[in-house]
A and B are shown apart, each in its own frame.
Chain A
Amino acid sequence: MTEYTVKAYMDHLMNEELVGVECKSCGHLMLPPRPLCNRCGSTDLGWRRFMDKGTVAAKTVIAVPLTRFQDRCPYGVGVVTLDEGVSISGLLLDEEKIDVGSRVEAAYVKDEYGVVLAFKAA
């Protein structure tokens, strides 16, 4: 059974750690973790801690929200390319200060459902 589960990822997020996996066979980095490498197919993987810094690759401000995020509306969300070269989606806090190309760092927003990965201006 794999240890590289959604639950493990969310538990790390709750501890304010951004953790994915590295393929020991081809070196491919994956965030969030997966049970097999989507580049070479290997299941020989290891945990990999990502640093919290990156650059915004895409950004939007949501005005018609998901139910879970109604109270935050309007809110920023986007795709961030981490300095390790891997991209991930997250809330964008202080969205008026952030645009495509902006430097950001990870933040961890906790709500009644759990934790949400977010980024704020660096």
Chain B
Amino acid sequence: MTRFHHRLHQDKQGRELFVEAALEAAESVDKGFTFGDADALYLGYFSSDMFERQGHTAALMADWLGMNPKPAYRVEDACASSGVAVNAGIQAIASGMCDVVIVGGVEKMRNLGTAEVTDTLALAADANYEAGVGFTFPGLYAAIASAHFSKHGSTWEQLQQIAIKNHVNGKKNPKAQYQETIKEIADKLGERKGTSFRDEMEFLNSPLNPVVASPLRLFDCCPISDGAAAVILAADEVAERYTDTPVRVAGIGQASDTMALHDRDDLTSLRATGVAARQAYKMAGVEPRNIDTACVHDCFTIAEVVATEDLGFFAKGEGGKAASEGRTALDGEIPVNPDGGLKAKGHPVGATGAAMVYEMFKQLRGQAGEHQVADAEVGLAHNVGAAGATVSVQIYRRG
């Protein structure tokens, strides 16, 4: 994968980012790999149309990888685009139609300013009945937070522990957009403004952390990012041509839910996460307690709380408390988002699901470096489209 960043890729287009990510994937194959080995490409790209004024991007990327005439499929499921592309690639292999596929995703968001990005991301909500009455994308998760606070008594202070933890992890990840702790950012911004902060919470409560959609403030939100990620999937029968230490796909799941948040019975839970996770746990023959580490879709701090509950790591309503007790930290009982999550690693939306698989591959082969989870053998990736109308889950196992 490329580094995710808001400035670094200013002079590049999505095609160049995707080729860079795919080249790293190919070069990492122990026994060698060329793109011609692949039978198909599955690409997640949410909105090349708006961000780059370019459609038909799967064909573009297949061309740019020199894969013609192999088939190329673009998947658009909002922020779950490449998590779904991964599932589609796995199904292509499971069907027997393909032996090897390249799956990945890309988003080049920073061509637009914040106002246009806000409008573009809102396309992933119901354009008539949510965006049409003023809901932004952060606004939908803020609404979820308000319902969660009201029903379960969770607090904004608990959410901050998730942002703090994900920045601590991101600092250890060379691919992360923000490789700084929130305390370091507070010290830097404070110095610039001629002030200082006792600790993270004083900074997070200050005007330097403005409200985006109450109760969510800037540091509750993942950033706007450019980046790409790619992984190579191979059938069991051919995997040994490429490596002696593969990471196995143990189970997958996917589900949809109502497009509009308001059509759900429970606003404090993403029903599609529970459905997709149960499918994946069943296929893999594992329980939530068997998961050693997970990448969950923390587009907002509240989303990580809800995800860790819906995935069964914690009881409903307990996710915020669990995070604030350090149970999801890198050295906790279930390290969540060891790569910094969307919050610190960045969220080029179409690339995120594939970037989670990249992280799982590194973790389960013991190659994650400073943010390695000790003895990780079973990992879970959880990718959400918008406010949960699409969810993909995969469970991976060390080969």
Residues of A in contact with B (beta carbons under 8 Å apart): 6, 32, 38, 57-70, 72, 74-75, 77-80, 87-91, 100-101, 116-118
Contacts and interface: CB of A to CB of B under 8 A. Distances in A.
Interface in B133-179: 133-136, 138-139, 142-147, 149-150
Contact of A63 (B115, B212, B258, B261): B212
A60 B122 contact: no
A87 B262 CA distance: 5
Interface residues of B, number: 38
A61 B107 CA distance: 28
B129 interface: yes
A57 B150 CA distance: 9
Main secondary structure of the interface of A (DSSP, over half): strand
B92 interface: no
B146 A59 contact: yes
B136 A89 contact: no
A66 B262 contact: no
A101 B131 CA distance: 23
A6 B128 contact: yes
Interface of B: 114-116, 118-119, 122, 128-136, 138-139, 142-147, 149-150, 210-216, 258, 260-263, 267
A77 B134 contact: yes
Given A32-B128, A67-B115, A62 B139 contact: yes
A66 B134 CA distance: 7
Contacts of B261: 58, 79, 89
Contacts of B139: 60, 62, 77
B146 A62 contact: no
Contacts of A57: 147, 262, 267
Contacts of B129: 32, 88-89
